[in-house]
Chain A
Amino acid sequence: MKRWLLLGLLVCSGAQAADDLVARGKYLTILGDCAACHTRKDGPELAGGVPLDSGFGTIYSRNITPDVQTGIGGWTADQFYRAMHSGRSADGSHLYPAFPYPYFTHMTRADDDAIFAYLKTVPAVSYKPPPNKLPFPLNIRGLMSIWNALYFTQGEYKPDPARSAAWNRGAYLVTGLGHCGGCHTPKDWLMGDENDRALSGGVVEHWFAADLTGNTRGGLASWSANDTIEYLKTGRNARATASGPMGEVAELSTSQTSDADLAAIAEYIKSLAPSAQKQPSAPDPAAMHSGEAIFVDACASCHLAGGKGQPYLFPPLAGNASVQGSDPTTIVRLVLDGSRSPSTAARPTPNAMPAFGWKLDDRQVADVVTYVRNSWGNAGEPVEAGAVAKLRKR
C-alpha cells in the first residue's frame, strides 16, 4: 500500500515537473517573441510562413508546431538545441541567420529544452511555408559557413562575476533569447552585426530601432531603469511610445515578461556605454521656418506647443530619443504612415498618429522632421527631401 502511494506521489511530482517545464518554456517562447516571426497575422499559432526581408531576398519562417511532416514534430531535443546553439537544421544543413541563432547560441541547454517541451504542446498544424526567394548564390545554404566564420561565435553566455546577478540575467536575456541586437545593433553590408557598436541603433525593414546606449541625444541617457521597465511592460512611458515593430514586441512579448526579468534587462541596458556622438550640421533656416508652420498646423494639436506632448498619450518630442536618432528613418516613417501604439493590459488605449504622407509632400515632411529634430533643445542631422522620397517608394 505504502509502495503504491509512493509511486503515485512520484508520478504526480513527475507530472508536476513536466508542467513546470512546459510553463517555463511558454514563458521563454513569449519572451523570445517567437510568434513575431513564426505566426502569420490571424494565422495558426507558430505555424510559420511569415515573409522576412533578409536584405537580400525573402525568407519564410518555419512551421515550429509539432506536426511531423511540416513542423518539428519529428525533431529531438538534441536537434532543437543544435538549431538554437549552432544554427543547423535537423538534417545538419545551415539555417539562415534571419533565424537569430547568433543570439540564441548564448542560451543554456535547460532553457532550450524548456522551449522545446512547450513547442511540443502547441496544436500541430500541417502547413508548408512557401519556398524562400533568395538570389543565387545565397540560395545555397552551405555558403552560410562562410558567413558564420565571419560573424558567428558559438557559445553559451558566460556570466561576469564582477557584475550583479540581475545585470548578468539582463545581459543573458538581451544578448540571447531577447535578441535585441537583431534590430538595435547596426549591420554591415552582409547583414552581420557591427559588434563594436552593439545596441547603438540599426535599420531593419525600413524602421530605425533606437540607440539603447547612454547616448544623450539619440540614446537612453535620460531614461531611468524604471522608465525602461515601464516602457517594456506597458508599451509606453512618460517619454516615449513603442511604435512599428517595437509596438508589436511590447504587445506580444515584453508586456508579458516578469517584473524581475524586466528589471534585469533595464539594469543591463542602463549600463551600456554611450555610443559615439557626432555634431549634426546646422539646419537650413528656411527649412526650419517652413517646418515650424507645418508643426503648428499639423502636429501641435496632440504634441502641443513646445513639443511637450501629453505624457503616456502623445509622446513629448522635446528631448525624445527617436526624434534625435542618428538615423531619421523611424521619425520620417511615422510622419508618412502614422502609427498605432500597442494595446497592453496596463495601457489598453491604442492611440494612433494619423498618416500625413498623403497630404504633405517630400519637402514638407523633410522640413517638419528637420524642425522637430532641431527645436526645443533637440539636435539631429537635417533631413533631405530625397530621403523622404526613398522611404515613400520603399
Chain B
Amino acid sequence: MKNPDVVLIGFGWTGAIMAERLTAAGLNVLAIERGGWRDTPNNFATTFDQDELRYMWRHRLFENVAHDTLTFRNNTSQVALPMRRLGSFLPGTGVGGAGVHWNGQVWRFLPSDFKALSHNRERYGQAAIGDMTIADYPVSYDDLEKHYDTFEYLCGVSGKAGNLNGAIQPGGNPFEGPRSREYPNPPLDMTYGPMLFAKAAQEAGYHPFVHPAANMSRAYTNPLGVQMGECTYCGFCEKFGCGNYSKASPQATILPVLMRRPNFKLITHCEVTRIELDSTRKRATGVTYVDDKGKERFQPAELVMLTAYILHNVRLLLLSGIGAPYDPQSGTGVIGKNYAYQITSSVNVFYDDKITNPFIGAGALGMIIDDFNGDNFDHSGLGFIGGGYIGVVNTGARPIETHPVPKGVPAWGAEWKKAVARNYLRMVSIATHGAVMSHRGNYLDLDPTYKDAFGRPLLRMTFDYTDNEHRMSDYLTDRATDVAKRMGARDVSPKKRTGAYSIVPYQTTHNTGGAMMGDDPRTSAVNRYLQSWDVSNLFVTGSAVYPQNAGYNPTGTLAALAYWSADAVVNRYLKAPGPLI
C-alpha cells in the first residue's frame, strides 16, 4: 500500500478493531505486526493445539525474550534486571497478539470504577486516597456502554445480564452497570466445582452469577457475519489458541471479513522501531520499521495508531520522544506514569466425597461474586479502597501446570505424588482477582543499561504492591475463605499474596497505565478520545491509557475504548483533522 491513510503499530485486539472500523469508513489501513501470520487451521488446529508442553511451558505463542524483553525492580533503590523468561504476565507476539491466548473473560468496569478518585474521595474522604496518584477516567460508563455492547456481540459472549436498563435480573450480576440488552449467547453449561462455590456463596448471603465468557455456549454468527462454533470445554484457552472457533480472538471474529477488504493490508515480521515526527514535533509523519530482511524502512502515514501491547505502546512513546517522560521524584511528566497491575490470591478446597473433574473447562467457565469488587461494599474502617471479584473459574486444570495439594504436604517426593493423585479430581480452587491503584513510585521508563536486538533501550518496570493492595487482597482472601468453609470440604487452604510483588510466578497479563487518559495535558498522555495531547495525528489504544486498574480483566474495557476512539476518528477527526479537544 503506497499511501495508507492509517498505519497501525501492532495487530492484536485493538489493531483489528481499529482496522475493521476504519476500513469500513473507507480509509486505507496498513497494519504492521512484528510477529507472523497466525490463523486457526494452520496454527491452532485441534490436532495439536492441546499441547501443554509446547504452549504453556515452552511459551510458543508469547513474545520472544531473546529478541525483546523488559527489566524489572520493585523500587528505585534497586537495580533492574532483564526478564530472561516471562513470568507474571505473558504478552503475545504475532497476528492476534495476546487476543489469541487469552481466556475470553469479558468484563465491563463498574460505573464507579471510572470515577475512582472523586467517588472514593466523596465517600471516604481525602485521607483514604493518601498519596495514591489515582484519577478519574475522562469517560463514563454511559459513554462506553454501547461500545461494550459492540464488543460483546462481536465476541458472542455467553452470559446472563444482571442489570437490563436499570432493572435487576435474577441470575445476573446485580452490581453491574445497566446494559442495554442481554448477552448474545446464554451461559455455558456449568460444572460441579463452580456450582459448589455458588451454592455456598448464596447461603452466605452473596450474589453469585455466571462469569461472562467469550467461549461459545452455542454456534454463533457475529454482526460481521463471522461464524463461531460451540465450545467443547476442552480446557485449553489460557496460553493456547482455539482450534474449534469457539473462543473469540481477532482471528475468530474479525479477520475473515477484514482480510477480504481491498483497503486493508497487513505486513508481518516487520517491527516498528520509532514514530517519526515533523520539525514541529506536533505531527507524526509515519513510522520507521525493520522489515523481515532486517532492512530499516520508513512508512509515511496521515494517521498513526499505537495498537500494540501496553508495554510496547509506552516504550515506543518513550523511544520516539513523544510526551514528557514521568519522573517519580518530582511527580512531573506523563509517559510511564501510573503503571498498575492486579493482585490475586487463592483458596483451595479439597474433598473426599466429591469428584469435581476440574479438567472439564473453558477460559471463562465459572461462577463469581462481585459483592467485594470496586465500591460494591462499605470500605469504612477497612484501610483500603478498591476490591475485586471472587469466584471459581474452571479454566481446565491442565496437568503440567495444575497439581494443588493441601497445606502441609511436602513440595516434592513420594508424599507429594500421593497427595496429587488423591486430590486432583477432588479439588475446587477459589480465586480472588483484585484491583491495583496507582502510586507515585510505580512507573515505566527506559532502562539505562539493557538493550534489545536492535540496540534500543529496554523498558524498565518499577513496581510493588502497597499496603492498600495487600490489605484489600487479604480482605478478599478472608471473604473467599468464609465461603470455602461453607462448602463442606475436608480441607480449606487459603494462599494469601504476601510480601513484595514477584514478577516470576504467573499471575495475570493485566498490565495497565503508562500513557493514561485524562482531561489535562499536564497530567495525562492522551485525551478522552485516546488522542495524544502532543501529536494530534497519533492515537494510543489498549490498557496503557488506564489511570489505574479495576478489579476486572481489562480486555472488555480496552476493546470498548478502541470502538469509542474509532467512532471519534470517523465522526469527528476525519472531518477536521487536529486536536479533538
Interfacial residues, chain A to chain B (CB-CB below 8 A)? 298, 301-302, 304, 310-314, 338, 340, 343, 345-356, 358-359
Cα(A298)–Cα(B41), bound, Å: 15
> Which chain B residue shows the least CB distance to A311?
B219
B257 touches A348 (CB 8 A): yes
B244 at the interface (CB under 8 A from A): yes
> Which chain A residue shows the least CB distance to B47?
A354
Q: Mark B218-234, 1 if CB is under 8 A from A, else 0.
A: 01010011111110101
B256 touches A343 (CB 8 A): yes
B424 at the interface (CB under 8 A from A): no
With known contacts A301-B244, A343-B260, A354–B227 Cβ distance under 8 A = no
A-B contact pairs, 16 of them (CB 8 A): A310-B230, A311-B219, A313-B229, A338-B41, A343-B256, A346-B225, A347-B227, A348-B257, A349-B225, A349-B245, A352-B40, A352-B45, A354-B45, A354-B243, A355-B47, A356-B47
Contacts of A351 in B (CB 8 A): 40, 227, 229, 245
Contacts of B260 in A (CB 8 A): 343, 345, 348
B46 touches A354 (CB 8 A): yes
B203-247 with Cβ < 8 A to chain A: 219, 221, 224-230, 232, 234, 243-245
B35-67 with Cβ < 8 A to chain A: 40-41, 45-47
With known contacts A302-B46, A348-B260, A354-B46, A313–B227 Cβ distance under 8 A = yes
> Which chain A residue shows the least CB distance to B45?
A354
CB distance from B146 to the nearest CB of A (A): 24
A359 touches B47 (CB 8 A): yes
B227 touches A301 (CB 8 A): no
Contacts of B257 in A (CB 8 A): 348
B225 touches A302 (CB 8 A): no
Most central of B227, B232, B245 by chain A CB within 10 Å: B227
Q: Per a CB cutoff under 8 Å, which of A301, A304, A312, A349 touches B256?
A: A349
CB distance from B34 to the nearest CB of A (A): 24
Cα(A134)–Cα(B127), bound, Å: 90
Cα(A301)–Cα(B45), bound, Å: 12
Known pairs A302-B46, A338-B45; list 11 more (Cβ under 8 Å): A298-B46, A301-B244, A302-B229, A312-B227, A313-B245, A338-B41, A343-B260, A348-B260, A349-B256, A350-B256, A359-B47
Cα(A340)–Cα(B39), bound, Å: 12
A348 touches B256 (CB 8 A): yes
> Which chain B residue shows the least CB distance to A356?
B47
B45 touches A348 (CB 8 A): no
The 10 A-B residue pairs with the shortest CB-CB distance, nearest first, are: A352-B41, A354-B45, A348-B256, A349-B227, A301-B232, A354-B47, A310-B219, A349-B256, A348-B257, A349-B226
Q: Per a CB cutoff under 8 Å, which of B41, B219, B228, B230 touches A354?
A: B41
Contacts of A358 in B (CB 8 A): 47
A314 touches B229 (CB 8 A): yes
Cα(A343)–Cα(B255), bound, Å: 11
Cα(A313)–Cα(B228), bound, Å: 8
> Which chain A residue shows the least CB distance to B243?
A354
B226 touches A301 (CB 8 A): no
CB distance from A344 to the nearest CB of B (A): 9
Contacts of B41 in A (CB 8 A): 338, 340, 350, 352-354
Cα(A312)–Cα(B219), bound, Å: 9
> Which chain A residue shows the least CB distance to B258?
A348
Cα(A314)–Cα(B228), bound, Å: 10
CB distance from A337 to the nearest CB of B (A): 11
> Which chain A residue shows the least CB distance to B44?
A354
Contacts of B46 in A (CB 8 A): 298, 301-302, 354
Cα(A313)–Cα(B224), bound, Å: 15
CB distance from A323 to the nearest CB of B (A): 19
Contacts of A338 in B (CB 8 A): 41, 45
Contacts of A343 in B (CB 8 A): 256, 260
B229 touches A310 (CB 8 A): yes
Contacts of B228 in A (CB 8 A): 313
> Which chain B residue shows the least CB distance to A312?
B227
Q: Mark B393-435, 1 if CB is under 8 A from A, else 0.
A: 0000000000000000000000000000000000000000000
B219 touches A313 (CB 8 A): yes
Contacts of A350 in B (CB 8 A): 41, 256
Contacts of A304 in B (CB 8 A): 230
> Which chain B residue shows the least CB distance to A353?
B41
Cα(A351)–Cα(B230), bound, Å: 13
Cα(A314)–Cα(B227), bound, Å: 10
Q: Mark B253-277, 1 if CB is under 8 A from A, else 0.
A: 0001100100000000000000000
Contacts of B219 in A (CB 8 A): 310-313
Contacts of A310 in B (CB 8 A): 219, 229-230
Cα(A356)–Cα(B45), bound, Å: 10
Contacts of B47 in A (CB 8 A): 298, 354-356, 358-359
Cα(A352)–Cα(B256), bound, Å: 12
Cα(A352)–Cα(B227), bound, Å: 12
Most central of B229, B232, B244 by chain A CB within 10 Å: B229
Contacts of B243 in A (CB 8 A): 354
Contacts of B225 in A (CB 8 A): 346-349
Cα(A171)–Cα(B226), bound, Å: 34
Contacts of B234 in A (CB 8 A): 301
Cα(A304)–Cα(B160), bound, Å: 25
Cα(A354)–Cα(B221), bound, Å: 21
Most central of B41, B221, B224, B257 by chain A CB within 10 Å: B41
Cα(A315)–Cα(B226), bound, Å: 16
Cα(A320)–Cα(B469), bound, Å: 58
> Which chain B residue shows the least CB distance to A357?
B47
Cα(A345)–Cα(B261), bound, Å: 10
Cα(A349)–Cα(B227), bound, Å: 6
CB distance from B185 to the nearest CB of A (A): 14
Q: Mark B8-50, 1 if CB is under 8 A from A, else 0.
A: 0000000000000000000000000000000011000111000
